[in-house]
Structure 1
Amino acid sequence: MLKRISCDKFLSNGSIREPIVFHSGLNTVLGSPDAKNSIGKSTFLMIIDFVFGGTDYLSKDTKDTVDNIGHHTIKFEFEFDRESLYFSRSTDNPSFINMCDSNFNVVKIIPLNEYNKALANRYGFRDNGISLRDFVGRFFRIYHRETTNEKFPLRSATQENVNAGIVALIKMFNKYHQISEQEHIKNKTQEKESAFKKAKSFNQIKAAPNNTAFKENNKDIEKLETELYQLTIETQRGLSDLDSFQAQELAEIKKQLSSLRRQRTQLNSQLGSYEDDSKYTNKNFKHSYDSLKEYFPNANYEELDKVEAFHLKLANILKKEFKQSEDEINLLLSIVKEKISSLESKANHLKTAPTISKAILLKYADITKKIEVLKEANKNFSEHAKLKDNLKSEKDKYDELLKSTMISIENTLNSLMKNYTDRLYNGEKTAPTIEIADSSHYHFFTPNDTGTGSLCRGLVIFDLVMLNNTKLPAVVHDTIILKHIEDETLEKLIELYSTSSKQIFIAFDRDTTYSKKMQSILNDSKVLKLSPGGNELFGRAWNDVKKED
């Protein structure tokens, strides 16, 4: 529990105040009998919130403290199981907490969120799955904080959505773990459905757009399968064992074979021409000139011999060139034959007849491809429908679990608030009631009594029920809450405050106008007495006009 707070800016008639020491149960900050304002009651309650990890002490609505006295350091002590823990927090570096020794010498500096986690752990509610501020922040009802609306007891801030308050309430009763597990399943299912839907929108997945298209696809599939069957029985060797990929592959093989066979024919033709030319080069150009000499005795036969020698030389050159080209053609021919043999072997491996025409194969492939596309579209449609059904089922489970949990908590709260109200009024007054419609709506009211005083009384009763039946460590009630409650009821509420073993911090005025019993409770629980004229929290009020000498 919070044990003490001190600050060298806390003054009383010019002197630094002694540390403010707290105890279990009711801790009262008393004001003056004439209910004077601007003496520091609400500011001190804000400092208590600051000690519990809050940030509103330095908000724009309360920054006048720093504006008037400058930055300052709040020193404080917590006690858990007789172990004292010492800390300090400065207004000029509020995002960090100083861990201190017993003389408040800084030993270590830690981030605010780490401090909040450690404090929540000390108070024993980290296992509830709720943070320190999410828990206590809702029940520190101080002027300038957004938690004083008597119609919304679960609100921690004006802009907070209602769902956050209801979820926090479930966690306070430590009933959120099972819901959290189902929420995780629901969210994972939603992620799958969303991913599938997104893939459809980017055309990464083809799917029938609706049930009508799904039915039309089935009709088209039936027609195409009939057409495919007719095509199969019309061929010499059926294609029933072929899938569309095989058919496409076989058509491509036939196309390549046709081209290679044309090349083979051309190469064979060239090779035949070279063989004929080669035979021509083997012809003997050497002739007998004896008969010619008989008729042409004066002819130059030596020149004819030179021409004949030239022809022989040329023939030898051509023979070499023919031999070289013939070798090249034979090499190309062997390569083409090897490719033809390989493709024919591959075609035979696909188990289809080499006599099936390319046109039939292409038609078969086209039909089977269309069938596959339509079936894939319908399969994806069915898969998406299944995902949507699963998502609805998981959402329904989550909503049902959430509803049953909320009903249980609602019944518990209403029963306890009735018990408290009956103790105050002996069963003669209606009790405050909370109705939780769903995870985003609730109604807090007192049946047949809509007055402000009744609503504020209901708010106090609600807080006391939460304090005494959950791990909530403390509540804070400012005069803005208490002043609207009628005196007789307020006296009874103060008595209820005094019975709690947990810490309750209140600011209170006009203690002399109540019964002696109530005055005794307030005096016994007093931790700080403030009044105007130098006994304000910081020794002065900002709104006093300084008199000139």
Structure 2
Amino acid sequence: MDEGVIRKPIKLHRGLNIVVGGADASNSIGKTTFLLAIDFALGGKTYARKSSSMVRAIGHHTLHFTHTFDGVDYRFCRDTAETKTVWSCDDKRNRLRSMSIEAYKDWLAAKYGLGELGSSFRDLQSPFFRVYGMKHDDVDRPLMSSTSDKVSADLLRLLKLYGRYEEVAEIEEKRENLELDRSAFRNADSRRFIRKAQSAKEYAKNERKIKSLESQMKQMLERCDKGVVEITTEKSGYIATLTDQLIELRRGRNSLARALRAMERDLELISFSKTKNLERLRTYFPGIDIRPIAEIDAFHEENVRNLKEMHRNESADIKARIADLDLQISRIEESIQQAGGISTLPRVAMEEYADLNSLVEQLVRANELYDRDKQFAEDAKEIKSQRESIEQHHFREIESAINEELLSLNRAAVGRGIAAPKIEIVDPDHYTYEIPLDDGTGSRNRGMFLFDIALLRQTPLKFAIHDSPGLKQVEDGHTIGMFNLYSQCEEQIFVAIDKVDKYTESGEVPDVIKENTVLELSRGHELFGIAWNRDIESQAEDIGSDE
């Protein structure tokens, strides 16, 4: 609303789009709210928070917005009261069909070229929406999406934006599969009656005990060989019992192996390829709406991910059970072989020998389980080392490319002689971003904004939003220098500023501001016709007296 009249659609264009506030820097007139509305149109939710002054002042409402690709308009609307649904609309704003917010964000990712980078549209884009209240204004961590994010998430996002994530993803898949195997092994371990060795000290103690017991068993055989009457019945019964156990274990293993092969065949069949070149369909079917196809693709892709995850978990569990059976089979086979050499054991000696052999088996199994768990740890360490090596290689190249771009942008914006910001990626969990020997508030904000431009130029990012609280900190001449850079971008950059006459000594508004202003707000010309910080009743009276 503007003076009681519904505003005409606000048209945004490539490059710089400026929302200008009043000469008196009036607050609560809608500059930040407008930037949040853009974020809302791009899948965000801060605009519609119940606690926001805008919602409390004017109530819930519907926001209409349009994306244009190759001259084709895609119209949508979204309600602040029902943020999880987006509607496609016709040119009369009639609602045609609904989609979930997740399907809409997948559509955005596909249309804006961010769908194949290994992350969601919001995860890649939202860190660069530096609107007051969204908490994306940490000048030391310009890649941060959420205050709860680890630094490693920032750097993973950087790899994805530069298209360097594929190798890392392969290593990450290995790590995830190893963790599944380890988890399944430990779950199976918890069902065993035999407790694995808990430490290297216990492992060594078990080894000594095994040698001692085997020595006792050998002495028993030697004593019996000196003349004790052969008791073949007891030996045969002992071997028969072991053989029965072996047959049962092998039967169980074969059954699990068949199930695993079937599962692996099923996993190979579970696949889904996104519909490629959706836009080319328009060549053959003019006027076709590709959004339902994109939604169906997203639905099937999610189902395939879930099925594969379920199969991987079940497969890991079966592999752990097979490995456990292999250990048991190996020990029984060894026991049968040893029993074959027992030719002269009486019943009492046979029972004692069997008890000793059972104890040996338990100790051997305990150490075998310890070895298996240790191997998991070594494999995990090796995978981590491989990943760090790959990441460090990519980070060095990305760091160099960003810093070269920052140096060029800084010179274009503020001239030579003023230090440029630099990023230093220490390792996959740590990075610094600063201007050497300059920790001034204005300089650090300038560094953050230039970082966004550098990534807009070098990556598939399509948007940046810069709000007035941060821009106010930057030296006026430097702000104009940055705006000139913004205006040269093919991507869309949305900024909010006020007191535009301060940027020149004469008070003349710079051309870059005049040419790129898309919305002017001031006291009496607020975004919704009212200011949040003024009493609504008194504002209504003011409007009535003006009429």
The letter for the 2-side match of 1:375 is V
SS in structure 1 at match of 2:420: coil
Is the aligned partner of 1:538 residue 2:528?
yes
From 498, 502, 516, the counterpart of 1:525 = 516
2:158 matched residue in structure 1: 169
The 1-side partners of 2:344 and 2:101 are apart by 83
Change (3 A) 1:238 1:433: farther
1:398 matched residue in structure 2: 387
Residues 494 and 518 in structure 1, CA contact (< 8 A), matched pair in contact too: no
Displacement of 1:391 in angstroms is 1.7
The 2-side partners of 1:70 and 1:379 are apart by 67
Change (3 A) 1:247 1:463: same
Residues 194 and 365 in structure 2, CA contact (< 8 A), matched pair in contact too: no
SS in structure 2 at match of 1:128: coil
1:65 matched residue in structure 2: 54
The 1-side partners of 2:399 and 2:155 are apart by 11
Cα RMSD (Å) of the superposition?
3.1
SS in structure 2 at match of 1:12: coil
Residues 479 and 509 in structure 1, CA contact (< 8 A), matched pair in contact too: yes
1:35 matched residue in structure 2: 25
Structure 2 unpaired stretches of 5+: 243-338
Is the aligned partner of 1:183 residue 2:157?
no
Is the aligned partner of 1:98 residue 2:91?
no
The 2-side partners of 1:523 and 1:32 are apart by 14
Displacement of 1:55 in angstroms is 0.3
The 1-side partners of 2:490 and 2:379 are apart by 48
1:356-387 CA distances to partner (integer Å, 9 max, x unpaired)? 52123223322322332232223222222222
The letter for the 2-side match of 1:18 is K
2:432 matched residue in structure 1: 443
Is the aligned partner of 1:12 residue 2:7?
no
Displacement of 1:461 in angstroms is 0.3
1:148-177 CA distances to partner (integer Å, 9 max, x unpaired)? 232221222333333332222221112222
Change (3 A) 1:120 1:160: same
Residues 247 and 362 in structure 1, CA contact (< 8 A), matched pair in contact too: no
From 82, 99, 108, the counterpart of 2:97 = 108
Larger Rg: 1
Aligned residues between the structures:
440
Residues 231 and 346 in structure 2, CA contact (< 8 A), matched pair in contact too: no
Displacement of 1:232 in angstroms is 2.6
Change (3 A) 1:25 1:204: farther
TM-score with structure 1 setting the length? 0.73
Change (3 A) 1:239 1:139: farther
Change (3 A) 1:540 1:199: same
The 2-side partners of 1:392 and 1:213 are apart by 23
Change (3 A) 1:120 1:241: farther
Change (3 A) 1:228 1:401: same
From 204, 207, 212, the counterpart of 2:201 = 212
1:409 matched residue in structure 2: 398
Is the aligned partner of 1:374 residue 2:360?
no
Change (3 A) 1:478 1:48: same
1:512 matched residue in structure 2: 501
Displacement of 1:74 in angstroms is 1.0
Residues 26 and 498 in structure 1, CA contact (< 8 A), matched pair in contact too: yes
The letter for the 2-side match of 1:361 is M
From 221, 224, 227, the counterpart of 2:216 = 227
Residues 251 and 358 in structure 1, CA contact (< 8 A), matched pair in contact too: no
Correspondence 1:163-312 to 2 at 5 A: 163-197=152-186, 199-200=188-189, 203-235=192-224, 246=236, 248=238
SS in structure 1 at match of 2:119: coil
- Report the identity percentage: 32
The letter for the 2-side match of 1:464 is I
1:312 matched residue in structure 2: none
Residues 251 and 361 in structure 1, CA contact (< 8 A), matched pair in contact too: no
The letter for the 2-side match of 1:501 is E
Change (3 A) 1:354 1:75: closer
The 1-side partners of 2:157 and 2:204 are apart by 48
SS in structure 1 at match of 2:82: coil
From 74, 97, 106, the counterpart of 1:85 = 74
The letter for the 2-side match of 1:544 is R
TM-score with structure 2 setting the length? 0.74
1:16-66 CA distances to partner (integer Å, 9 max, x unpaired)? 11110111111111122232222211111111111111100022552x222
Change (3 A) 1:369 1:413: same
1:471 matched residue in structure 2: 460
The letter for the 2-side match of 1:385 is K
The letter for the 2-side match of 1:444 is Y
The 1-side partners of 2:425 and 2:432 are apart by 7
